[in-house]
Amino acid sequence: MNISKIANLKFFYTKTRKISSFLSAFTLILFCIGIYWGLFIAPTDYLQGNSYRIMYVHVPAAWLSMQTYMIMAATGFIALVWKIKIMEIASIQCAPIGAFFTIIALVTGMVWGKPTWGTYWVWDARLTSELILLFLYIGIMVLYSAYSDKRQAIKITSLLAIIGLINIPIIHYSVEWWNTLHQGPTVTKFEKPSAHITMLLPLLYMFFVFNMYFLSILIKRMRFGIYMREKNNKWMEELKND
C-alpha cells in the first residue's frame, strides 16, 4: 500500500474506525488473560511473596512510558522536517497516552516500594528521572494547548520532545550508573535474566498486551485529532452527513 495514501488524513480517518474497535475488544481479552496469568498462575516469589505480582502492570507501563516518548519524538521529528500532517497529529496524541503510562508506572512503583523498601517514595535516580518524564509529557500538552495555531504549536512541542530524549537513557541506565534502591535490570540481561522463565513469560506477554493497548488508543486519539483539525473541511462535513 502506498505510504502517501496511508498518510492522507481522510484515508486514515475512514479506514481505521473498525480497526480501532477490533483492537480495543481484542486488547481487553488479552489483558484479562494476562492478569489471570500474573495473579494466579505465575509462582510466588521466594523473597517478595505475592507483592511482586504488581510487576506485571508496573514494568510494562514503565517500558511503554519510555517507548511512547521515543515514538512521540520520532514522529515529531518527521513532522518538523517533512511537515507531514498525520505525523503532527500522531506526535501530540502520544503525549496524553505516555503521561498515562508514566502515572501508572509511578503509582504502581510506589505501591510496590512500600513492602519492598519500607517507603512509598525515595528520590533515587530511577524514580526521579521517571517523574521528570511525566513533567515533560505535561509540559508538551500544556505548550500545545497554549497555541491557537496548531501547526506552530507542533513545531515547539516537537523540539521539546527531541531535546527531552536525553532523559530516556538516564531512566534506563540509572540503576547501573548510580547506587539506587531500585532493582537492577531483570529482562534486558538476555544472557541470564533475573526472573525465572515462569515469571518472565507472563511479563513479556503483558508487554505485548500493553503495546496492543497503546496502538488501539493511539488510533482512537489520532482519529479524534483528525476530527478536531478537519471538522470544518468539506470531506469531514460529507462524512458527518452520511
Residue, of 17 and 74, whose pLDDT is higher: 74
- Between CA 163 and CA 139 the distance in angstroms is 13
* pLDDT, tens digit, 9 for 90 and up, residues 129-186: 999 999 999 999 999 999 999 999 999 999 999 999 999 999 999 877 776 666 666 6
Question: What predicted TM-score, i.e. pTM, was given to this entire model?
Answer: 0.93
How long, in residues, is the chain? 242
pLDDT band at residue 196 under the 50/70/90 scheme: confident
Helix (H, G, I), strand (E, B) or coil at 152: helix
pLDDT band at residue 46 under the 50/70/90 scheme: confident
Q: Which residue, chain included where needed, has cell 495514501?
A: 5
Grid coordinates of 32: 484479562
pLDDT score at 183: 65
